[in-house]
Copies of this chain bind each other. A is one copy, B any other.
Amino acid sequence: MTYCVGIEVDEGLVFAADTRTNASLDDVRVYRKLHVFEYPGQAVFAVMSAGNLATTQLALARIQRDVDDAAPRNLRTFRHLFEVAEYIGQVLVSSQVDTAGRPEFEGISTQATLILGGQVAGERPGMYMVYPLGNAIASSPETPYLQVGESKYGKPILDRIIRADTRLEDAARTALVSLDSTIRSNLSVGMPIDLALIRRDDLRITERMRLDADTPLYSDIHANWSRKLTEAVHTLPRFPWELPQD
């Protein structure tokens, strides 16, 4: 499995992804799932991937090749983010080998799902989930985050905190808590965590870091988040029988 989350707030975009790839419980490796494409002053994109690793590596290699070869359609030629989503969807579809219906490949899926976020000069930042069929949905004020992979454990914290006016760094801290909750609960999601922030109108990757278990920010979340939650639970209202009696 995998867990990647992308968040869109007024101040910009946050991307956070784990790095564990597994074919089975005893075949576990570390692969980057968060990839960035920077054309400073013109456009900036980040792509996170879940699903078949051969598919996502092929798709990313083709996207980079199209830029390097200055192909008629490449990341630098689009004026709108939705066109980038459409292009990436087409690359994704062509990178998925069709194994459906071939009995020797039964149970093997070459599908992958991508989260694309970024900004093209002249537009506001945006974020899309690109499905295996090549179609895409955008994040929105009502749904300001997108998840791929093992999404359930890390969803409640996003629902409770992320609003359009959440500060960019607080959104990033929330993403790390969401990742930490998921890593605790699903062995197929693992450290280190890749994190990237794109501040609105920077038109570059504003900040980028890889967090390991001993990175101070992450080790503090892991060690102290329980205590903060325990305090928060303790400040919830008393039950009727806990109140002083007349």
- Residues in A lying within 8 Å of B, measured CB to CB: 152-157, 159-161, 166, 169-170, 172-174, 177, 181, 184-185, 207, 209, 216-217, 220-221, 224-226, 228-239, 241-242
Contacts and interface: CB of A to CB of B under 8 A. Distances in A.
A10 to B, nearest CB: 16
Contact of A241 (B185, B207, B225, B229): B207
A205 to B, nearest CB: 12
A169 B238 contact: yes
Contacts of A221: 236
Nearest to A236: B173
Contacts of A238: 169
A82 B207 CA distance: 55
A207 B239 contact: yes
Contacts of A173: 233-234, 236
A170 B232 contact: no
A81 to B, nearest CB: 25
B217 A170 contact: no
A233 to B, nearest CB: 5
Contacts of A172: 239
A229 to B, nearest CB: 5
Nearest to A219: B237
A177 B233 contact: yes
A209 B241 CA distance: 11
A185 B172 CA distance: 22
Nearest to A218: B237
Contacts of A216: 237
Contacts of A184: 156, 159
Given A217-B239, A225-B232, A242-B169, A181 B161 contact: no
Given A152-B153, A159-B181, A231-B232, 4 more contacts: A156-B181, A161-B233, A166-B230, A216-B237
A225 to B, nearest CB: 6
